[in-house]
Amino acid sequence: MFEYEDKNWCEKMRIRLDFNNVMQDFIDGGFSQKNFDDLSEKITNAANQLDSKRANGQMDWRNLPYNQPVDEILDYAAQVQKNFESILVLGIGGSALGPIALQQAINHPYYNELPREKRKFPKFYVADNVDPERLVYLFDVIDLDKTLFIVISKSGSTSETMSQFMIIKDMMEKELGKENAKSHIVCITDSEKGNLIKIAKDENYKTFYIPAGVGGRFSQLSPVGLLPAAICGIDIKELLAGAAFMDEACKNNPQKNIAAMYATINYLAMQNGQNITVMMPYADSLKYISDWYTQLWAESLGKSVNNDGKIVNVGQTPVKALGVTDQHSQIQLYNEGPYDKIITFISVENYRETITIPKIFEDMPTVGFLGGATHNELIQVEHYTTERALAKLNRMNMTIILPHVNEFVIGQLFYMLEVATAFAGELLNINAFNQPGVEEAKNLTYGVFGKPGYENKRIELENVLKKNQNYFV
Amino acid sequence: MFEYEDKNWCEKMRIRLDFNNVMQDFIDGGFSQKNFDDLSEKITNAANQLDSKRANGQMDWRNLPYNQPVDEILDYAAQVQKNFESILVLGIGGSALGPIALQQAINHPYYNELPREKRKFPKFYVADNVDPERLVYLFDVIDLDKTLFIVISKSGSTSETMSQFMIIKDMMEKELGKENAKSHIVCITDSEKGNLIKIAKDENYKTFYIPAGVGGRFSQLSPVGLLPAAICGIDIKELLAGAAFMDEACKNNPQKNIAAMYATINYLAMQNGQNITVMMPYADSLKYISDWYTQLWAESLGKSVNNDGKIVNVGQTPVKALGVTDQHSQIQLYNEGPYDKIITFISVENYRETITIPKIFEDMPTVGFLGGATHNELIQVEHYTTERALAKLNRMNMTIILPHVNEFVIGQLFYMLEVATAFAGELLNINAFNQPGVEEAKNLTYGVFGKPGYENKRIELENVLKKNQNYFV
């Protein structure tokens, strides 16, 4: 039996939300039960909306914990582990942020630097930019002949990913020959639409699919997240079991379940002037969870128009921070600056290692007091005292508590934050699943590069450039 | 002659600020010349204040480009390059963020993964957290016997750094013997005050000094930034020459110099409701400049009380973003969300490498148009079209233009942003050089660990804990 099939074990791994420090019992200006009661109809409606959308097949990402081709992924991953020294994910946005977050959470923090016998699985790289330097320099550390390229684009028209793919395909065919190159490429894309599936079929590349109804930032539990993880030895069955466990929790009364409450508290905070939401895990392993969350929250909830067509320009700005590190960077501002933010800490109850501070310098009171303590205690105490200091200054904060960092817990965390984001979208009465605001820059880019149909965009830019040297120092 | 001794070369390397897109000529609701004129007395006063503080010896960080022990650092660095395989910086806040930013800007993006013959200099690691996992796992990739530990703490009472130092000192003395261990430790600290200088003298460690008047976040051009950089082959003379070049530029009329204008524009934006300032370089090499800047801007300007003792709770929240990557994460929000942010792009005119997209898939219009272009063009065009799309939606943005990424340019950038931060502090009439808001959490931490004199803090925490299980899901 796997651990995640044991109900008691799962219960011990349940993630929780401590929101004392947003409540008026703990801080001046905090929320009261009445604030939640006043919203109860809205909250119930939001929950019902999500349920009916799911029932109508409009929320395919909710079903990813149950319907993914896990065995096919594991079989393919086993082959990759045998045949390759490195994998390179070509993707951007959710296609990069999810795989990076999971890799950092579960695997060794210096994974790529470990010798193969200790690392066991292929090295893990992601190319999520079109910076010419980085791509050139990457080839100083990977060997084309021993690298698998995982090309991720649902539409197959993501300029950044597709141009990287074009460069690498060309390099590889020249270096390895056209037939050999094929076995170095796997595509994760829509099963029917777009360029990438067409190319994959023409070239006979191995392919995995992103279900049609799943958008990039909600795709982490599809092959987008699962395939790179499985190749690097991460237990994707446990990850999905954690997500399914959270799915059950999210069916509870929305005033009693963690995802809905996380959304509701942030919604109340937005109404209250907190236009900034900070995500601050106290664990290096969770640093990139904040990056993934930033996309999810920003792109889903930053919208100009609501579902009634009214201009609203809503959206909380997510800020990434890391405890304790950023106590020495951002906390001064959080404690003393404007009352414009709500802070979510992520705490870890049990780290995977323990390290003890020796009893030395006992004659120096400002450092000697540390002797005999563990870093585990120090990081947890610093989280707690930071939280308290904020609360004393009536700064809203809450904590997502992770019992451990493992696949089951991270699966819960991904799924919880996805549901919370969708829930917040309902509370805000906006569409959390589109991103119309990124189209204009794309169209202007097409204009510059002479894509047919975008000639007027080029002219528009040329007109601006004519007057563009006005304000310079 | 070094390149930076050639005035024409320096002029070609000058960084510039394009602020068209904050002005009403380019966006509705933008600033007018009148906005600057109305502030002119305040701007002049700010400039005069900074000048007189410098003249009175209250701005020692302004003199770092001229008075650092460069030859001693280079001599010591040469020894380290010969004798060690790795360096580990033990520091937090400015002591970590500055060295990381510089390393990433100048050196190979996969520096640590390169073989020694290609890398040439020791591997570079930073331990800027008390996460027990990371420190344990770090010893899987560094060898105590071949690592130099650079301990950075001005006061010698930074719990995180000192506890790491205690752990490593103890390990090393057990493994290498007390005498051998000494040659593996160098301290960067105050020359007179605090625990670390006392320990360094007692143990006869090699030491470099942070000048008394230089605070952590303004210390990048002291040995804090210079020593790790020099060991890793970065040209610190060129870095300091760039900073000195910027120092000259900052003596210009404050309505004509880049640092003062950057500060003034952000100040105007704050008055205008932009409580968020985004820093978004279009270069992977500059990603960690944003992290360094975040501390500088947040900790310097996030203050509850102004110089007249009035409660003001000011401070813009810096947000880190990376172009083009975060076009697929945060730009949707920037385009469509609240009008609460001003965005600073950093653009690069000449990357160090060029990469060309091959002409393939010409029958597919959504990708074929990319064929024949370079990634250099693509990243620059995407920056420009993103800037334009924001401007069309009347979103304030500006661009710091870097002709190249090299030590001279990065020296200018560090120094410019430091002066800008100090200048903004004057405009806000606050003390940009203290951080009183982080004291309370420290005191509470002392209470938990039983440091004498902090018993009441422990009692306070215990009382909170008693009522602490109220709001949980």
Q: Which of residues 295-354 of B touch A (CB under 8 A)?
A: 295, 298-299, 301-305, 313-315, 317, 319-320, 322, 324-341, 351-354
Residue with tokens 């001693």: B72
Are A3-56+239-428 and A69-234 in the same CATH fold? yes
Residue A109 has its nearest CB partner, among B137, B315, B358, at: B137
ipTM of the shown complex = 0.97
Q: For chain B, what is the largest distance between any 2 Cα atoms, rounded to a whole number of angstroms? A: 76
B289 has pLDDT over 90: yes
- Answer yes or no: pTM beyond 0.90: yes
- Asked if B179 has any chain A CB less than 8 Å from its own CB, the reply is no
Backbone angles phi and psi of B82, in degrees to 5: -75, -35
Instruction: Indicate the SS3 state at residue A430.
Output: coil
Q: What is the distance, to the nearest Å, from the Cα of residue A64 to the centroid of all Cα atoms in its chain?
A: 16
Using CA atoms, how far apart are residues B142 and B138, in angstroms rounded to an integer? Answer: 6
B301 has pLDDT over 90: yes
A132 has pLDDT over 90: yes
Rg (CA), chain B: 24
Per-residue model confidence (pLDDT) at position A172: 96
Residue A166 has its nearest CB partner, among B258, B360, B472, at: B360
Domain ranges of chain A: 3-56+239-428, 69-234, 442-466
Instruction: Classify residue A155 by its DSSP letter.
Output: S
Instruction: Classify residue A15 by its DSSP letter.
Output: -
DSSP letters for B117-159: HHH-S-EEEEE-S--HHHHHHHTTT--GGGEEEEEE-SSS--H
3-state DSSP of B52-110: HHHHCCCCHHHHHHHHCCHHHHHHHHHHHHHHCCEEEEECCCHHHHHHHHHHHHHCCCC
Residue A165 parent element (H or E):
helix A159-176
* Contact (CB, 8 A) for A47 and A254: yes
Catalytic annotation, pick one of A42, A53, A442, A451:
A442
DSSP letters for B306-342: -TTS-EEEE-PEEEE--TTGGGGTTHHHHHHS-S-EE
Residue-wise pLDDT for A412-448, tens only, equals 999 999 999 999 999 999 999 999 999 999 999 999 9
**Cβ contact (<8 Å) for A336 and B325?**
no
What proportion of chain A, given as a percentage, has pLDDT over 70?
100
How far from A5 is each of A14, A65, A242, A405, A407, CA to CA, in Å?
A: 14, 15, 10, 18, 13
- The encoded tokens of residue A243 equal 């997500």
- The encoded tokens of residue B184 equal 């593996």
Instruction: Classify residue A343 by its DSSP letter.
Output: E
Count CB-CB contacts under 10 A for residue B271.
Answer: 11
Per-residue model confidence (pLDDT) at position A467: 72
The distance of B275 to chain A (nearest Cα, Å) reads 8
Per-residue model confidence (pLDDT) at position B199: 97
∠ Cα B356 A203 A231 (to 5°): 85
Q: Which of residues 27-86 of A touch B (CB under 8 A)?
A: none
Chain A's closest residue to B357, CA to CA, is A167
Residue-wise pLDDT for A204-226, tens only, equals 999 999 999 999 999 999 999 99
Q: Which residue, A452, A258, A277, is CA-closest to B330?
A: A277
How do strand A123-127 and strand A86-90 relate by DSSP bridges?
A: parallel
Residue-wise pLDDT for B324-375, tens only, equals 999 999 999 999 999 999 999 999 999 999 999 999 999 998 899 999 999 9
Per-residue model confidence (pLDDT) at position B251: 94
Instruction: Classify residue A117 by its DSSP letter.
Output: H
A109 has pLDDT over 90: yes
Residue-wise pLDDT for A440-458, tens only, equals 999 999 999 998 899 999 9
Cis peptide bond prior to B130, omega within 30° of 0: no
Count CB-CB contacts under 10 A for residue B354.
Answer: 13
Which class is A3-56+239-428 in CATH?
alpha beta
A464 has pLDDT over 90: no
The four Cα atoms A421, A414, A260, A249 give a dihedral, to 10 degrees, of 150
Backbone angles phi and psi of B260, in degrees to 5: -65, -40
Q: Which residue, B276, B351, B469, B391, is CA-closest to B29?
A: B391
* Contact (CB, 8 A) for A290 and A273: no
**Cβ contact (<8 Å) for A319 and B319?**
yes
Per-residue model confidence (pLDDT) at position B470: 86
B13 has pLDDT over 90: yes
The whole-chain average pLDDT of chain B stands at 96
Residue A358 has its nearest CB partner, among B166, B303, B472, at: B166
A465 has pLDDT over 90: no
Using CA atoms, how far apart are residues A355 and A377, in angstroms rounded to an integer? Answer: 10
**Cβ contact (<8 Å) for B361 and A157?**
no
**Cβ contact (<8 Å) for A338 and B314?**
yes
* Contact (CB, 8 A) for B427 and B227: no
Using CA atoms, how far apart are residues B401 and B378, in angstroms rounded to an integer? Answer: 17
A469 has pLDDT over 80: no
The distance of B70 to chain A (nearest Cα, Å) reads 28
The four Cα atoms B329, B335, B341, B342 give a dihedral, to 10 degrees, of 100
Residue-wise pLDDT for A159-179, tens only, equals 999 999 999 999 999 999 999
Confidence class of residue A105 from pLDDT cuts 50, 70 and 90?
very high
Hey, of B25, B333, B456, B459, which one would you mutate to test binding to chain A, going by the most A CBs within 10 A of its CB?
A: B333
Looking at domain B69-234, its CATH superfamily turns out to be: Glucose-6-phosphate isomerase like protein; domain 1 (3.40.50.10490)
Using CA atoms, how far apart are residues B370 and B390, in angstroms rounded to an integer? Answer: 23
Instruction: Classify residue B453 by its DSSP letter.
Output: T
Hey, of B117, B471, B472, which one would you mutate to test binding to chain A, going by the most A CBs within 10 A of its CB?
A: B471
Residue-wise pLDDT for B68-88, tens only, equals 999 999 999 999 999 999 999
Per-residue model confidence (pLDDT) at position A158: 94
Hey, of A15, A329, A343, which one would you mutate to test binding to chain B, going by the most B CBs within 10 A of its CB?
A: A329
Residue-wise pLDDT for A349-380, tens only, equals 999 999 999 999 999 988 999 999 999 999 99
